[in-house]
Structure 1
Amino acid sequence: MKRKEKKYKEYLFVDGYNIINSWDNLRELSSLNLEVAREELIETMAEYQHYSDIKIIVVFDAHMVKGNNGKKEKVKGVEVVFTKENETADQYIEKTLDDIGRIKRVRVATSDWMEQQIILGRGGTRISARELEVEIFNQRNLIKKKKNKEKDKTELFIGRLDEEVLRKLNKWGKNSK
């Protein structure tokens, strides 16, 4: 049975190499190994997609690769696109924006000023690489705070239990393994 595709209220296109070259940690990684930097970006975007409920499409330029027909794949729920020969990430994003930009809420993460202007003219909104990095950082902090709050609640609850109940719970836990 095929899983039903989730409906997203918002789409975020990420200009992969633009972001890699803009974020310090990814730029450093890419100087050692570009593949590892791409994987780290995709991992970060997968985590962000999971918590934000925004559909993320990461687009990498492959337009300089002779005979390249382009490639689309899903990695941890994130759509990853390698453009075809003679097609830049910007061109792919613009073309896709023409199709869905007036119907869906679409943001594009890039620090390319010219691309940002084109995005705005096609019904999308832009977010710079730095703004995206801050947005992800803030969301991670929010999640940490939420987890700590839950942990505190659990510890407070356990602290209210008397010794006899705790002993029985411990014994029950050991027996169920």
Structure 2
Amino acid sequence: MNSSRPSFLLVDGNNIIHAWPDLLKLHQRRRGSAHVELIRRLNEYRDYSGQRVVVVFDGRGSTLNEEREPGGLQVIYTSAGNTADDIVERLAIKYAKAYEIVVATDDRAEQDVVVAAGGEVISSLSLRSLLEGSVREMTDWIERNRKRR
């Protein structure tokens, strides 16, 4: 991809929650706790990488709801009648020419739309590896710098 364009990671939150066993278990016990945990992990990644991150969840309200976490993570809850897939696809189509967009989802139809728009797709497993790798790198960096003192 063209590194001169700004990039961001766009995450289909519900798809990821249902793909990761630990988050699915949280979701089955209490829906909101899986959202909070995924947002926490994405914030951690964003803090380390500096990459812009947007996560989209299926919502129940009458209007689209957008929140910004401290540090810049953007959280979108769709309105009733729209799915996270719809919003992710629209965002990919709208911004793929101006930004390097990477979409995390296992939804095949959504992946096809993103690629056709010029975006890149990673699977839920690849997203997990990306997030876990950044945590390991951050931990290693902290340990190395702690030993220098």
TM normalised by structure 1 equals 0.77
User: 1:113 is matched with which residue: 108, 112, 116?
Assistant: 108
Distance, in Å, in 2 between the alignment partners of 1:34 and 1:88 is: 16
User: 1:42 is matched with which residue: 28, 39, 44?
Assistant: 39
The answer to whether structure 1 residue 74 and structure 2 residue 71 are counterparts is: no
The residue number in structure 1 matching 2:17 is: 20
The residue number in structure 2 matching 1:144 is: 139
Q: How many residue pairs are counted as aligned between the two chains?
A: 144
Distance, in Å, in 1 between the alignment partners of 2:50 and 2:75 is: 17
Distance, in Å, in 2 between the alignment partners of 1:101 and 1:87 is: 21
The residue number in structure 2 matching 1:171 is: none
The residue number in structure 2 matching 1:57 is: 54
Task: Return structure 1 stretches of 4+ with deviation > 3 angstroms.
Answer: none
Distance, in Å, in 1 between the alignment partners of 2:69 and 2:146 is: 31
Distance, in Å, in 1 between the alignment partners of 2:18 and 2:27 is: 8
In the TM superposition, what is the alpha-carbon distance from 1:87 to its structure 2 partner?
Answer: 1.3
The answer to whether structure 1 residue 93 and structure 2 residue 88 are counterparts is: yes
Percent identity of equivalent pairs: 29
Tell me if the contact between 2:13 and 2:35 (Cα under 8 Å) persists in the aligned partners: yes
In the TM superposition, what is the alpha-carbon distance from 1:106 to its structure 2 partner?
Answer: 0.3
1:126-145 correspondence to structure 2 within 5 Å: 126-145=121-140
Structure with the larger RCO, 1 or 2 (CA within 8 Å, 6+ apart): 2
TM normalised by structure 2 equals 0.91
Tell me if the contact between 2:11 and 2:103 (Cα under 8 Å) persists in the aligned partners: yes
Counterpart residue type for residue 83 of structure 1: T
The residue number in structure 1 matching 2:30 is: 33
Q: What is the root-mean-square deviation of aligned Cα atoms in Å? A: 1.4
